[in-house]
C-alpha cells in the first residue's frame, strides 16, 4: 500500500542492463548444440543443390515469388496447392502446443530465434569484453580509448553476424550463388539490399540491445503460457522446501538453532540468468526456462557437497508429493497424459493427411470453363459451336504434349483453336490457356438442347496418364 | 525482470491500490525505450505529413515537399508499360500479317493487345464476347460468315477503313431501296425465292416467280446462286446466318427498305500496331479464314 512518505512512482525507467555470467553444464551444452543445428540449417540450406533438369532451378529450397512456385528438394508446390503450407503451419501450431504442455517453455528457452541470436551475441560480448565482472566494470567506467576499442570491435562482429543473417534470408528467395555474385558486384535488385538492410538492423538491435525486452514486452508467446501450461507441465522451478531458509557465510556456521536450507544465497542462479530474474521468486513471465540457472546451481551444489536439483525441471503436482516426502511422479507420467496424447494424435493426423495428399497429386491437371458470352455460336452451315477456355497445368517436370478428346452421349466434334489436330504442347512447369471448340451438327439434338453433358479427356501423349473433367455443351434450346 | 523486486531487497513497488480477492495490481514503470519509440513515431508522422500529400485545404490538399502524386505514378507506370512493349509493337507493325500466327511470341502478344483494344473500342457495337447483337445488324465476329472477307488482310482493311465511314477508301456497298423499284407482289416473290435457296420453308409458286425477279435485280450483287460477293460486300443468302434476321418479315423489311450499317474507320483513332493487333485477335476468335 502506498505510504505518504514514499516518493511518487516514476512513469518510465531505463532498462537495467543484464550481464549473464558464463555457465557450464548439461543444459548449456544442449543449448549450444541446438544453436549450432538451427543456425547451421538457417545459414546453409539456401546453398544446398537439387538437380531438377535443365529448365528448372537447381536450388534445393527455393521460394520463387515471381514464378509462384515453392521448391523443397523433390517437392514442387504450385499456388493452388497452398494448403500444404497451411497444413504445415497448423502442424507447427499443434507442435508448439504439444511441446509447451509437456515441457513448458522449451521453445522460448532453447529454439526461439530471439533466444538463439541473443545467446550468440552475448557469447561475442563475453569473447570481446570478458565475463560478467569485467563487463559490469566496463559498463560503469567512463568512455576512454580502451572502452571505445572494445565496444567497436563487439559492434563490428555483431554487424557481420547481422548482415550474414539478413543475407541468408534473401538467399531463400532466389538462386543463392547468383544473388551473392550480384550483391557483391552491386548489381542486385534494390529489394534485396533493402531486405538485407532491414534484417541487419533488426538482428543488430534485437540481439545486441533489446534482448530480454522483446520477451517481456513485445512477444505474445509468454502471455499465452497461462493457457498452455497445466499442473503436469514441466517447468524450471526452485525447491523452497529444500532451500529455505537460505543463508550464507557466518549465518551457516553460527549456532542459531535454526537449520538452514540448502540454498547458500550465492546468487549464481541470478548471475547467469539472461533475463535478469531470480528464479527463487517462482516461475514468472520473464523466465524463459533456459535452465542455465539449473546448471549454475548444480555446479555450486557439487562444490559444497550437497545433492543436485535445488533448481530443476518439475511440475506443480510434484510439490505436494515432495513436500510430504512421497515418491515423485516419473517424468514419463508427467509428459504422457491425455492432453499431450491428443495433441500428438492431431499433429500426426495433419501430417499424415499432408503426406497422403502429396502422393495423390496428379502430375498434370486440367480445368475447363465454357465461354459464357456468347454461350454458343451458329455457324454458316447451321451447326452450333460452344467455345471453352482450357487450362492445362503441366507439373511433369519437362515439356510435354497432351492429346485432347471428348466423350458424350450425342455426336459432337472437338477442335483446338490455332492447332491442326488435337495435340497441344505445354512448356515446362507452366499452365497453358487454350481455347477449344465443340461443334454439334445442324439440326442435331445437342444443337437444339440448352445443355448437354460432355466429358473432356486429356492424355499425356507420351504416356498413359490421363485426367478427365466434366463440362456442358451449350445449344440453342430454351 | 530487472524492475521486478526480489523479496526483501528493495521496497515493494507502488501498487495501484486495487485489490481483487487478494490479487493486487502492480504499478511498474514503462520502459523508457518504449516512450522514446513513441516519440519517434510522432516525429515520423509529422515529417511524413510534410513530405507527402496530407493536410486538407479548402480546395485540394497540401502537395507535400517530395511532389509525390498517384496520378504521376500511374502516368509513369503507363509510360513504362509502353516502353516495355515498344519492341514487340514495332515488330508487329513491321510484320506480314499472314505470318504472325506462326510466331508464338508475336501472336501471343498480338492476341493480348488485340483483346485489350477490342474491349475498349469494339465491344460497344460488337459485344464484349464479339457475338454482336442478334438480328440488329451488329455482326457476330465469331462465326465463319463474312461480308467483306475473313482472312487477316481483309479484316485488317475493314478495321482500317471502316464501312460507309468518312475515310475516302472506306468499304462501301449500297443495296437499293426496292420499295421504289419493285411492286409489293414482286418483293413477296423474291423473298420466297431467297427463303427457298436458304433452305427455309417457302411458298413454291411464289418462289418460282421470285427466281426471275432475283435474276434481274439481285444477282448482279448477290451472285446468280445468291452466294454473295466479298468484293462488293453482298451477303451469302444461302447460309444460316442473317445479319438483320432471317424470318420472312425481316427479309421483306430488308428488301423493302434496304440496310446501310456503318462502321467507323479506325485509322483516324488507333495506331498501326493496335489495329494490326485487333485484326489478329478477331481472326483467331473462331471464324477467321
Average pLDDT over residues B61-70: 92
Express each pLDDT in A340-376 by its tens digit.
999 999 999 999 999 999 998 888 999 999 999 999 9
Q: Does B29 touch chain A (CB under 8 A)?
A: yes
- For residue B1, pLDDT over 50 is answered with no
Contact A13 B29 (CB under 8 A): yes
* pLDDT (0 to 100) of residue A448: 92
* pLDDT (0 to 100) of residue B7: 42
- For residue B229, pLDDT over 50 is answered with yes
* pLDDT (0 to 100) of residue A387: 96
Contact B144 A372 (CB under 8 A): no
* pLDDT (0 to 100) of residue B10: 45
In which band, very low, low, confident or very high, does the pLDDT at B4 lie, cut at 50, 70 and 90?
A: very low
The 10 Å Cβ neighbour count of residue A229 is: 20
Ranking A314-323, A326-335, B252-261 by mean pLDDT, the lowest is A326-335
Name the residue among B27, B107, B140 with its Cβ closest to that of A9.
B27
For Cα atoms A263, A267, A270, give the angle at the middle one, nearest 5 degrees: 120
Percent over 90 (pLDDT), chain B: 86
Percent over 90 (pLDDT), chain A: 81
Q: Where are the beta strands (DSSP E) in A422-465?
A: 423-426, 431-440, 451-460
- Please report the sign of the dihedral spanned by the C-alpha atoms of residue B64, residue B68, residue B69, residue B72: positive
- For residue A122, pLDDT over 50 is answered with yes
- For residue B8, pLDDT over 50 is answered with no
Grouping H, G, I as helix, E, B as strand and the rest as coil, residue A235 is: strand
More confident residue, A55 or B96: B96
In which band, very low, low, confident or very high, does the pLDDT at A53 lie, cut at 50, 70 and 90?
A: confident
Name the residue among B13, B145, B240 with its Cβ closest to that of A442.
B240
Torsion angle in degrees (nearest 10) through CA of A136, A138, A140, A146: 180
Ranking A131-145, A311-325, B18-32, B47-61 by mean pLDDT, the lowest is B18-32
Contact status, residue A380 vs residue B287, Cβ threshold 8 Å: no
Inter-CA distances, A68 with A210, A451, B2, B95, Å: 36, 36, 47, 34
Torsional class of A325: left (φ above 0), alpha (ψ -120 to 50), beta (otherwise): left
Helix axes A26-44, A145-171, angle to 10 degrees: 60
Average pLDDT over residues B193-208: 94
Contact status, residue B125 vs residue B117, Cβ threshold 8 Å: no
Grouping H, G, I as helix, E, B as strand and the rest as coil, residue B114 is: helix
Average pLDDT over residues A199-205: 97
Grouping H, G, I as helix, E, B as strand and the rest as coil, residue A133 is: helix
Residues in contact with B213: Cβ distance below 8 Å, sequence separation at least 6, in sequence order: B182, B186, B189, B190, B193
Q: Does B133 touch chain A (CB under 8 A)?
A: no
Average pLDDT over residues A399-415: 93
Q: Which residues pair with A369 in a beta bridge?
A: A389
* pLDDT (0 to 100) of residue B13: 64
Q: In chain A, where does the domain assigned CATH 2.60.40.10 lie?
A: 364-474
Express each pLDDT in A10-41 by its tens digit.
889 999 999 999 999 999 999 999 999 999 99
CA distance A215 to A477: 69
Question: Which residues does chain B have within 8 Å of residue A286's beta carbon, measured at their own beta carbons?
Answer: 1, 4
Ranking A66-80, A138-152, A251-265, A422-436 by mean pLDDT, the lowest is A251-265
Express each pLDDT in A217-238 by its tens digit.
999 999 988 788 999 999 999 9
In which band, very low, low, confident or very high, does the pLDDT at B79 lie, cut at 50, 70 and 90?
A: very high
Inter-CA distances, B289 with B134, B145, B153, B279, Å: 22, 10, 10, 12
Contact A382 B13 (CB under 8 A): no
Residues in contact with B178: Cβ distance below 8 Å, sequence separation at least 6, in sequence order: B187, B217, B255, B256, B258
Average pLDDT over residues A53-72: 92
Contact B29 A371 (CB under 8 A): no
- For residue A456, pLDDT over 60 is answered with yes
Average pLDDT over residues B70-87: 95
In which band, very low, low, confident or very high, does the pLDDT at B105 lie, cut at 50, 70 and 90?
A: very high
Express each pLDDT in B133-169 by its tens digit.
988 999 999 999 999 999 999 999 999 999 999 999 9
Contact status, residue B97 vs residue B276, Cβ threshold 8 Å: yes
The CA-to-CA distance between both ends of chain B, in Å, stands at 82
Q: In chain B, where does the domain assigned CATH 1.10.760.10 lie?
A: 100-168+264-283, 178-257
Q: Does A7 touch chain B (CB under 8 A)?
A: no
Inter-CA distances, B6 with A97, A153, A239, A316, B25, Å: 31, 35, 17, 22, 17
Could you tell me where the DSSP H helices lie in chain B? Answer: 32-51, 70-94, 104-117, 123-126, 152-161, 184-197, 204-217, 219-222, 248-257, 272-283
CATH fold, domain A364-474, is Immunoglobulin-like (2.60.40)
- For residue A184, pLDDT over 90 is answered with yes
- Name the class of domain B100-168+264-283: mainly alpha
Name the residue among A1, A278, A442 with its Cβ closest to that of B6.
A278
Contact A2 B33 (CB under 8 A): no
CATH-assigned architecture of domain B178-257: Orthogonal Bundle (1.10)
Biggest CA–CA distance in chain A, Å, is 119
| Closest to A300 measured CA to CA, from A267, A331, A329 | A267
Which secondary-structure segment (H or E) carries A313?
Answer: strand A311-314
Residues 5-24 of B with CB under 8 A from A: 6-7, 11, 13-15, 17
Query: What value of ipTM does the predicted structure carry?
Result: 0.83
Amino acid at each position: 500500500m502506498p505510504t505518504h512518505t514514499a516518493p511518487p512512482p516514476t512513469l518510465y525507467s531505463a532498462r537495467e542492463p543484464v550481464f549473464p555470467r558464463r555457465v557450464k553444464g548439461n543444459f548449456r551444452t544442449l543449448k549450444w548444440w541446438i544453436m549450432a543445428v538451427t543456425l547451421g540449417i538457417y545459414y546453409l540450406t539456401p546453398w544446398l543443390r537439387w538437380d531438377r533438369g535443365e529448365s528448372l532451378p537447381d536450388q534445393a529450397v527455393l521460394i520463387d515469388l515471381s514464378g509462384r512456385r515453392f521448391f523443397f528438394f523433390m517437392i514442387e508446390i504450385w499456388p493452388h496447392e497452398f494448403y500444404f503450407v497451411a497444413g504445415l503451419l497448423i502442424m507447427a501450431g499443434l507442435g508448439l502446443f504439444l511441446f509447451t504442455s509437456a515441457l513448458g517453455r522449451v521453445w522460448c528457452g532453447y529454439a526461439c530465434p530471439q533466444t538463439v541470436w541473443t545467446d550468440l551475441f552475448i557469447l561475442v560480448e563475453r569473447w570481446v569484453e570478458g565475463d560478467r565482472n569485467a563487463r559490469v566494470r566496463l559498463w560503469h567506467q567512463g568512455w576512454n580509448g580502451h572502452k571505445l576499442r572494445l565496444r567497436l570491435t563487439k559492434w563490428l562482429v555483431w554487424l557481420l553476424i547481422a548482415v550474414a543473417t539478413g543475407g541468408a534470408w534473401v538467399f531463400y528467395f532466389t538462386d543463392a550463388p547468383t544473388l551473392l555474385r550480384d550483391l557483391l558486384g552491386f548489381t542486385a535488385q534494390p529489394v534485396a539490399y533493402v531486405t538485407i538492410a532491414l534484417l541487419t538492423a533488426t538482428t543488430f538491435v534485437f540481439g545486441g540491445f533489446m534482448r530480454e525486452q522483446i520477451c517481456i514486452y513485445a512477444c505474445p508467446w509468454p502471455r499465452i503460457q497461462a493457457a498452455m501450461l497445466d499442473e503436469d507441465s514441466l517447468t524450471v522451478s526452485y525447491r523452497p522446501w529444500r532451500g529455505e531458509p537460505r543463508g550464507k557465510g557466518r549465518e551457516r556456521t553460527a549456532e542459531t538453532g535454526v537449520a538452514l536450507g540448502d540454498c547458500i544465497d550465492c546468487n549464481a542462479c541470478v548471475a547467469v540468468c539472461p533475463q535478469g530474474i531470480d528464479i527463487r521468486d517462482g516461475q514468472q513471465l520473464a523466465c524463459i526456462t533456459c535452465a542455465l540457472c539449473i546448471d549454475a546451481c548444480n555446479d555450486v551444489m557439487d562444490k559444497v557437497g550437497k545433492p543436485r536439483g535445488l533448481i530443476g525441471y518439475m511440475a506443480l503436482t510434484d510439490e505436494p508429493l515432495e513436500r510430504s516426502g512421497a515418491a515423485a511422479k516419473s517424468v514419463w507420467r508427467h509428459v504422457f497424459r491425455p492432453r499431450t496424447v491428443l495433441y500428438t494424435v492431431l499433429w500426426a493426423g495433419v501430417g499424415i493427411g499432408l503426406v497422403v495428399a502429396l502422393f495423390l497429386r496428379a502430375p498434370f491437371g486440367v480445368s475447363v470453363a465454357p465461354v459464357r458470352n456468347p454461350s454458343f455460336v451458329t455457324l454458316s452451315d447451321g451447326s452450333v459451336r460452344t467455345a471453352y477456355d482450357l487450362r492445362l497445368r503441366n507439373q511433369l517436370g519437362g515439356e510435354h504434349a497432351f492429346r485432347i478428346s471428348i466423350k458424350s452421349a450425342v455426336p459432337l466434334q472437338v477442335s483446338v483453336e490455332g492447332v491442326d489436330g488435337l495435340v497441344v504442347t505445354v512448356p515446362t512447369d507452366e499452365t497453358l490457356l487454350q481455347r477449344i471448340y465443340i461443334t454439334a451438327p445442324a439440326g442435331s439434338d445437342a444443337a437444339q438442347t440448352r445443355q448437354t453433358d460432355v466429358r473432356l479427356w486429356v492424355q499425356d501423349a507420351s504416356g498413359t496418364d490421363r485426367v478427365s473433367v466434366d463440362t456442358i455443351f451449350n445449344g440453342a434450346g430454351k | 525482470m530487472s524492475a521486478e523486486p526480489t523479496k526483501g531487497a528493495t521496497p515493494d513497488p507502488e501498487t495501484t491500490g486495487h485489490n481483487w480477492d487478494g490479487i493486487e495490481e502492480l504499478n511498474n514503470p514503462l520502459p523508457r525505450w518504449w516512450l522514446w519509440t513513441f516519440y519517434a513515431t510522432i516525429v515520423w508522422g509529422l515529417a511524413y505529413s510534410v513530405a507527402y500529400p496530407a493536410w486538407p485545404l479548402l480546395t485540394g490538399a497540401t502537395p507535400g515537399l517530395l511532389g509525390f502524386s498517384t496520378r504521376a505514378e500511374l502516368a509513369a507506370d503507363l509510360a513504362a508499360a509502353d516502353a516495355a512493349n515498344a519492341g514487340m509493337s514495332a515488330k508487329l507493325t513491321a510484320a506480314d500479317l499472314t505470318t504472325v500466327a506462326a510466331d508464338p511470341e508475336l501472336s501471343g502478344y498480338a492476341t493480348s493487345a488485340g483483346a485489350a483494344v477490342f474491349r475498349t473500342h469494339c465491344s460497344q457495337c460488337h459485344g464484349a464476347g464479339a457475338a454482336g447483337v442478334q438480328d440488329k445488324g451488329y455482326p457476330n465476329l465469331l462465326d465463319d460468315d463474312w461480308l467483306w472477307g475473313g482472312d487477316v488482310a481483309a479484316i485488317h482493311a475493314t478495321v482500317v477503313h471502316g464501312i460507309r465511314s468518312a475515310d475516302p477508301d472506306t468499304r462501301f456497298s449500297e443495296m437499293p431501296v426496292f420499295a421504289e423499284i419493285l411492286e409489293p407482289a414482286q418483293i413477296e416473290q423474291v423473298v420466297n425465292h431467297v427463303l427457298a435457296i436458304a433452305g427455309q420453308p417457302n411458298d413454291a409458286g411464289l418462289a418460282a416467280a421470285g427466281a426471275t425477279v432475283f435474276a434481274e435485280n439481285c444477282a448482279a450483287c448477290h451472285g446468280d446462286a445468291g452466294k454473295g460477293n466479298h468484293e462488293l460486300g453482298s451477303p451469302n443468302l444461302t447460309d444460316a446466318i442473317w445479319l438483320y434476321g432471317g424470318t420472312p418479315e425481316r427479309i421483306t423489311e430488308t428488301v423493302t427498305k434496304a440496310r446501310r450499317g456503318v462502321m467507323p474507320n479506325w485509322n483516324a483513332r488507333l495506331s498501326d500496331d493496335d489495329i494490326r493487333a485487333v485484326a489478329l485477335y478477331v481472326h483467331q476468335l473462331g471464324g477467321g479464314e
